[in-house]
Amino acid sequence: MSGNSFGKIFRITTWGESHGQAVGVVVDGVPSGLPLEEEDVQVELNRRRPGKSEIETSRKERDKVRILSGVFDGKTLGTPIQMLVENEDVESGEYEKRKSKPRPGHADLTYKLKHGHVDYRGGGRASGRETVGRVAAGAIAKKLLDMKGIEILSHVVRAGGVGIEERPSIEEIRNVPEENNMKCADMDVASRMEKRVLEAENDGDSTGGVVEVLALGAPAGLGEPVFDKLDAEIAKALMSIGAVKGVEIGSGFESAERRGSEVNDSIRFKDGEIVFETNTAGGVLGGISSGAPLIARIAVKPTPSISKLQKTVDFETGENADLRLEGRFDPNICPRIVPVAESMMALVLADLMLRAGKINPDKLEGGK
């Protein structure tokens, strides 16, 4: 009820404030017998860790994960997996100074109105730091999906007003190099994006963009009719990421402009298998996976933390106030959303694979 949990069978609960002692996640519903070690999770946490490039906040965190339970002799037990990451770089002086002034575009104001007593340091639970738990849990979900031949990919398709024009191949998306700061599969577009992002940063401003997430190899039949449709679950999962203001599936908003004859994907038999001639549906029909690749895109708003002067209120004085933020911000959050978006997609699919009976909830085959 309190919103810190996600999933029904593969169910995670993230915990921890940005500037508290630690952040983490407990992952419940993982069947026994999945090989798992800390390094599997660490690899994914390293992908989301800040400070790797000029366009990311310089907050320094090693983000070393510890698995405290649920794994024995290198394999999961079917019991809750608790993972913990200590917070290290938690200077809070900057926050102290402006704790009575909610930052525009941030959750400061609404958390205050909802809970009264808040941890004003670094956004508390609304901080991007909460995604440590999501990504750690996502690493386990990915491992589980991998056993079933499902692969999750994500890449940036627009940023700073610049976007790809042609859809890159799966191979290109899969191989976006780690040193590609924008996580855009088209290297040329990536460098134009980065230029625009840095321009805005120099103006004390920030930019947004669009991130795409794909799932390959998901079997037909995932998703529950009516309210828990696959696309509805994906929409919720992705919209729950901070800064996301829109979600679309397949051709999404563009399909609203077209005609039925253009949008209905023709169905064909090919070598005894059912295939589609096109995939405007993004892999979902009637809320249930069709076997075609799942495709979703999210609109990411510009990072709300900017160094330009902004207008807000001051709860202490009860007056309007100006606010100029100082500190470390991501001028464009899209590349750092990539591993988070992958994690959310993985969490949705791991849960739906279990819900559809395609993974045994008690133990993996051969896990005896």
Q: Considering only residues 128, 209, 335, 339, which one is a binding residue for its own copies as defined by CB under 8 A?
A: 209
Q: Considering only residues 214, 247, 294, 353, which one is a binding residue for its own copies as defined by CB under 8 A?
A: 247
Within residues 28-47, the interface with its own copies by CB under 8 A covers 28-29, 32-33
Terminal Cα-to-Cα distance of the chain (whole angstroms): 35
Half-sphere exposure of 364 (CA within 13 A, CB side): 20
* CB nearer its own copies, residue 16 or residue 335: 16
Q: Considering only residues 99, 174, 263, 279, which one is a binding residue for its own copies as defined by CB under 8 A?
A: 263
Tell me if 149 contacts its own copies by CB under 8 A. no
Using DSSP bridges, classify how beta strands 81-86 and 65-67 pair: parallel, antiparallel or unpaired: antiparallel
* 357 vs 368: CA distance, rounded Å: 19
Structure tokens of 119?
A: 């941890």
The reply, when asked if residue 302 is annotated as ligand binding, is yes
Of the ranges 39-47, 49-57, 176-184, 235-243, which one interacts with its own copies (CB under 8 A)?
Answer: 235-243
Q: Considering only residues 168, 305, 345, 349, which one is a binding residue for its own copies as defined by CB under 8 A?
A: 305
Q: Considering only residues 90, 147, 210, 216, which one is a binding residue for its own copies as defined by CB under 8 A?
A: 210
Q: How many residues bind its own copies (CB under 8 A)?
A: 150
The reply, when asked if residue 125 is annotated as ligand binding, is yes
The reply, when asked if residue 301 is annotated as ligand binding, is yes
Tell me if 147 contacts its own copies by CB under 8 A. no
Within residues 71-90, the interface with its own copies by CB under 8 A covers 72-73, 75-82, 84
The reply, when asked if residue 48 is annotated as ligand binding, is yes
Q: Considering only residues 24, 168, 293, 335, which one is a binding residue for its own copies as defined by CB under 8 A?
A: 24
Phi-psi region of 185 (alpha: psi -120 to 50; beta: other; left: phi over 0): alpha
Sign of the CA dihedral running 65, 67, 73, 77: negative
Neighbours of 43 (CB within 10 A): 10
The reply, when asked if residue 350 is annotated as ligand binding, is no
Type of residue numbered 183 = K
* 207 vs 105: CA distance, rounded Å: 13
Neighbours of 126 (CB within 10 A): 18
Q: Considering only residues 119, 186, 212, 342, which one is a binding residue for its own copies as defined by CB under 8 A?
A: 119
* 31 vs 145: CA distance, rounded Å: 12
* 9 vs 29: CA distance, rounded Å: 5
* CB nearer its own copies, residue 124 or residue 339: 124
The reply, when asked if residue 103 is annotated as ligand binding, is no
Tell me if 224 contacts its own copies by CB under 8 A. yes
Residue among 86, 83, 90 nearest 63 (CA): 86
Tell me if 118 contacts its own copies by CB under 8 A. yes
Q: Considering only residues 168, 231, 293, 348, which one is a binding residue for its own copies as defined by CB under 8 A?
A: 231
